[in-house]
Chain A
Amino acid sequence: LAKTTQPISMDSYEGQEVNITCSHNNIATNDYITWYQQFPSQGPRFIIQGYKTKVTNEVASLFIPADRKSSTLSLPRVSLSDTAVYYCLVGDIPFGNTGKLIFGQGTTLQVKP
């Protein structure tokens, strides 16, 4: 997996849009960017994955610039229930060639009322 850098923590208020950036300068041509969300006392769960430009699903959007050296996870109008740790992973994950998946420290998002 490519080395990634994320902020350790972020604070937000209910109803705001939250953007979490992940830096991955050494991303390889076949690498995808994958984000997981972990609520307290639960295992992480997959939220979104992308290769370039923009990907959107019912939970979040993922923005990837042309050089792909960073990516931004965007959570629209957060609520208290979005308080969680968010992990960014970069590798050829969709193809299964990367067996060894290591999580970084992640970004702890605290949503306040």
Chain B
Amino acid sequence: NAGVTQTPKFRILKIGQSMTLQCAQDMNHNYMYWYRQDPGMGLKLIYYSVGAGITDKGEVPNGYNVSRSTTEDFPLRLELAAPSQTSVYFCASRGGEANEQFFGPGTRLTVL
């Protein structure tokens, strides 16, 4: 199993541009999550999904959109990128014996 994969690893955006961060998991987990982590800070939940077709807002959803058309994929869309969205973005899925989260390697995004 590849686990949770994220693409791209790094990206630089200009203010006002848009992009989609990709996340995929091959563990057949129903729950998936997007977090952002600013330097030296903890994780902030952006959006989460409890299954295909179902998404809900987390702590900091403004400026982002998500969709969940399949169990495997949970893309995060940034519209009109702003410098405040400069961060590392982590995707996670949840399952396993303890119903724990499995995190991807992260996408480092810089908005200039």
Chain A residues proximal to chain B, CB less than 8 Å? 32, 34, 36, 41-46, 49, 85, 87, 93-96, 99-106
> Which stretch, B40-48, B63-71, B76-84, touches the partner chain A?
B40-48
Is B75 an interface residue, CB under 8 A from the partner? no
Contact of A99 among B31, B42, B96, B103 (CB under 8 A): B31
Q: Report the bound CA distance from A49 to B100 in whole Å.
A: 9
* Secondary structure of the A contact surface, majority rule: loop
The distance from the CB of B21 to the nearest CB of chain A, in whole angstroms, is 14
Contact B42 A94 (CB under 8 A): no
Min C-beta distance of B94 to chain A, whole Å:
8
Evaluate whether A43 and B100 lie within 8 angstroms (CB atoms) in the complex, with A99-B31, A100-B48, A103-B35 already known: no
A102 CB contact (under 8 Å) in B58, B88, B96, B105: B58
Q: Is the CB of A34 within 8 A of B100?
A: yes
Distance from B97 Cβ to chain A, minimum over Cβ atoms (Å): 8
- Quote the shortest CB–CB distance from A93 to chain B (angstroms): 6
Give 8 new A-B contacts, CB below 8 A, not counting A46-B100, A49-B98, A101-B48: A42-B105, A43-B104, A46-B101, A93-B98, A100-B48, A102-B45, A102-B59, A103-B42
